[in-house]
Amino acid sequence: MGRPGGDSVRKEWQTLELCDRFFDSIERNDYETLESCYAPEAVIWHSHDCLYQSRADNLAMLKAGMETLPKVRFKDRRIRVFEGGFVQQHTIYVTRANGFVGQMDVCFVGYVRDGMISRAYEYFDTGRITKFLG
């Protein structure tokens, strides 16, 4: 018999690892790894338009960011894992081509299937968009 809670502990660790891999891949401009974090049916919801974005559109947006933004960092990451997913709170810092460093507080809720993100919800305040865009 395995240790009590062994499966759930392993699953929790795998979800934490997925969460780190996802955000680290964006920081490192590692598109291949980023893409592998999303399940084929993945959709991403954003609080500014309350719409689900397709996997392809979201990846295209993130890829464009990788190609144009000098630096992206997710700092003060606070992660909690729940059955079927995770929530990460962070502050994203984006260095723009003109040197401006924008920042935004974000809450990202990810739902996980077979080790991949199948659905995600991203909450942030566009009322503070000038602090982010410059």
Partner 1 sequence: MDQYEIRELCEQFFDAYENRRVDLLDRIYSDDCIIWHNVFGRETTRDENLAALPDSYKGQRRRTYDDRIVNTFHDGFVIQYSLDGVQNTGHRGSLWICIVARCRDGKITRIDEYMDSSKFAAWAGREGTR
Interface residue with partner 1, options 82, 115, 133, 134 (CB under 8 A): 82
Q: Interface with partner 1 includes 127 (CB under 8 A)?
A: yes
Cβ proximity to partner 1: between 3 and 68 the closer is 3
N-term to C-term CA, the chain:
57
Q: Are 52 and 24 contacting, i.e. CB atoms less than 8 angstroms apart?
A: no
Q: Verify binding: residue 126, partner 1, rule CB under 8 A.
A: yes
**Cα(49)–Cα(131) distance, integer angstroms:** 19
Is 101 an interacting residue with respect to partner 1 (CB under 8 A)?
Answer: no
By the rule CB under 8 A, 112 interacts with partner 1: no
Exactly one of 87, 93, 95, 96 binds partner 1 (CB under 8 A); that residue is 87
| Piece of the chain touching partner 1 by CB under 8 A; list 24-32, 55-63, 68-76, 77-85 | 77-85
Using CB under 8 A as the binding rule, whether residue 14 contacts partner 1 is answered as no
Q: With binding defined as CB under 8 A, does residue 16 bind partner 1?
A: no
Give the binding site for partner 1 (CB under 8 A): 47-48, 50, 78, 80-85, 87, 89, 105-107, 109, 121, 123-129
